[in-house]
């Protein structure tokens, strides 16, 4: 192995991004990820184009680069400009009772896309996936899927245009036929190359990727898209899901379908900082939609990694290191007012504002968000969940 190769291997060990593992020894290098996965950077001209086509200001997550990569977004927009609609597809693996803020990111963004483009949406709950990967029972995975569905619906999707389904309930019929078509096109060597399965993995894992692939094809939903086999699909997701859709895009033309387009986000960092691993098992690493105002305040004050200096004197002199500061990072996701965010960054970065003040503002912003979510979730009854499950689109 020559020096360069060695260095590259070293770097690859330091940064792992797959659907079931995201870890790195430092900040995730998203440029490297774009290169490695072969997707495209979402640049300003595309953001401007979305604004022009939808006639509304781009979502915070778009204008601040949270959604930073894509595949074939231009093609979807070209078609849309010519009057051709598309549908949205996103999903969640129900592995926990309550969602945290990071889980909300793709759904908040998907709601914006649905409203802005006025298009139908399908949401897949992969209870089967979590049953196989997390060692949950079938019944427990299904229960989590139902609980999570309520939190997802609480994000405010248009009931008449949204279909939410669990794999255990829905897989069969036309959906299953597409799964078999996909499976026939993918060799064992290919999935090993894409997902890194080993001989020790059970065959449930090896056979799962077609389940996540086929919601990309309208013919998997005959009750929604009958006679619209050529409707295009756009998938908003975090970039760790890219391997599934690389496989899907590879197969699609071979079975006569459009490749789905993707719009991909970076990860929402843990309270402890961007180098720390976001741990689902550590309740103090994230703010949950079930947290009280008091819990939110405590977590932020106690755990949110600060880029501020050790003493007030030093802080006044040097200012905060915004690059590593979690309160500022969280505000850049959830504080909508651009002018206020700029003001905070400038003052805090110059030492005029202290960490405590920034944390206080963050606690306000997140408490408002979480309380709004809790009210919306309380209004989601079993009937509403059912309505989403049987919706029909025109």
Q: Which residues bind ligand TRP (CB under 6 A)?
A: 19, 89-93, 124, 126, 129, 212, 235, 237, 241
- Residue 265 C-beta: closest distance to ligand TRP, Å: 10
Quick one: 59 or 359, whose CB is closer to ligand TRP? Answer: 59
Cβ atoms 94, 125 nearer than 8 A: yes
- Residue 133 C-beta: closest distance to ligand TRP, Å: 8
Q: Tell me the sheet residues that pair with 23.
A: 16
- Residue 51 C-beta: closest distance to ligand TRP, Å: 24
- Residue 147 C-beta: closest distance to ligand TRP, Å: 15
Q: Tell me the sheet residues that pair with 67.
A: 265
Count CB neighbours of 101 within 10 A: 21
* Structure-block tokens of residue 24: 């790195």
- Residue 103 C-beta: closest distance to ligand TRP, Å: 8
Compute CA 108 distance to the chain's CA centroid, rounded to the nearest angstrom: 9
CA distance 26 to 44: 27
DSSP string, 22-75: EEESSS--HHHHHHHHT-EE--HHHHHHHHHHHTSPPPHHHHTTSEEEEESHHH
Q: How many CA atoms lie within 13 A of 304 on its CB side?
A: 24
Quick one: 248 or 355, whose CB is closer to ligand TRP? Answer: 248
- Residue 264 C-beta: closest distance to ligand TRP, Å: 10
CA distance 316 to 313: 5
The sign of the dihedral angle between the CA atoms of 266, 157, 76, 233 is: positive
* Structure-block tokens of residue 233: 């699909």
- Residue 353 C-beta: closest distance to ligand TRP, Å: 36
Nearest residue to 18 (alpha-carbon basis) of 36, 6, 5, 31:
36
Cβ atoms 175, 128 nearer than 8 A: no
Quick one: 249 or 299, whose CB is closer to ligand TRP? Answer: 249
Quick one: 30 or 305, whose CB is closer to ligand TRP? Answer: 30
Quick one: 50 or 164, whose CB is closer to ligand TRP? Answer: 164
CA distance 286 to 104: 12
Quick one: 77 or 144, whose CB is closer to ligand TRP? Answer: 144
Quick one: 58 or 106, whose CB is closer to ligand TRP? Answer: 106
């Amino acid at each position: 192995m020559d020096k360069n190769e060695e260095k590259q291997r070293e770097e690859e060990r330091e940064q792992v991004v797959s659907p079931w593992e995201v870890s790195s020894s430092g900040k995730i290098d998203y440029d490297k990820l774009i290169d490695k996965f072969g997707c495209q950077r979402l640049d300003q001209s595309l953001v401007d184009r979305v604004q022009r086509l939808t006639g509304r200001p781009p979502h915070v997550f778009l204008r601040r680069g949270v959604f930073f990569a894509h595949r074939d977004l231009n093609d979807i927009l070209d078609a849309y400009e010519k009057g051709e609609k598309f549908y949205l597809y996103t999903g969640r693996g129900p592995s926990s009772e309550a969602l945290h803020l990071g889980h909300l990111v793709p759904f908040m963004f998907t709601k914006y896309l649905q409203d802005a483009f006025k298009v139908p949406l399908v949401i897949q709950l992969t209870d089967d996936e979590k049953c196989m990967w997390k060692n949950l029972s079938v019944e427990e995975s299904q229960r989590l899927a139902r609980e999570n569905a309520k939190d997802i619906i609480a994000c405010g999707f248009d009931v008449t245009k949204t279909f939410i389904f669990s794999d255990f309930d829905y897989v069969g019929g036309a959906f299953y036929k597409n799964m078999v078509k996909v499976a026939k096109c993918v060799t064992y060597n290919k999935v090993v190359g894409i997902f890194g399965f080993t001989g020790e993995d059970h065959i449930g894992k090896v056979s799962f990727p077609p389940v996540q692939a086929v919601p990309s094809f309208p013919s998997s939903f005959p009750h929604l898209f009958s006679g619209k086999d050529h409707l295009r699909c756009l998938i908003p997701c975090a970039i760790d899901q890219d391997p599934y859709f690389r496989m899907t895009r590879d197969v699609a033309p071979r079975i006569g379908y459009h490749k789905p387009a993707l719009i991909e986000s970076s990860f929402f960092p843990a309270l402890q900082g961007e180098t720390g691993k976001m741990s689902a098992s550590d309740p103090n690493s994230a703010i949950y939609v079930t947290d009280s105002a008091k819990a939110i305040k405590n977590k932020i004050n106690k755990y949110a990694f600060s880029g501020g200096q050790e003493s007030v004197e030093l802080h006044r002199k040097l200012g905060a290191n915004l690059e590593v500061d979690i309160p500022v990072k969280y505000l850049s996701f959830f504080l909508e007012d651009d002018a206020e965010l700029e003001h905070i960054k400038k003052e805090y970065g110059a030492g005029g504002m202290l960490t405590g003040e920034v944390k206080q503002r963050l606690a306000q912003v997140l408490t408002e968000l979480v309380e709004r979510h809790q009210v919306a979730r309380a209004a989601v009854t079993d009937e509403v969940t059912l309505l989403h499950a049987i919706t029909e689109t025109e």
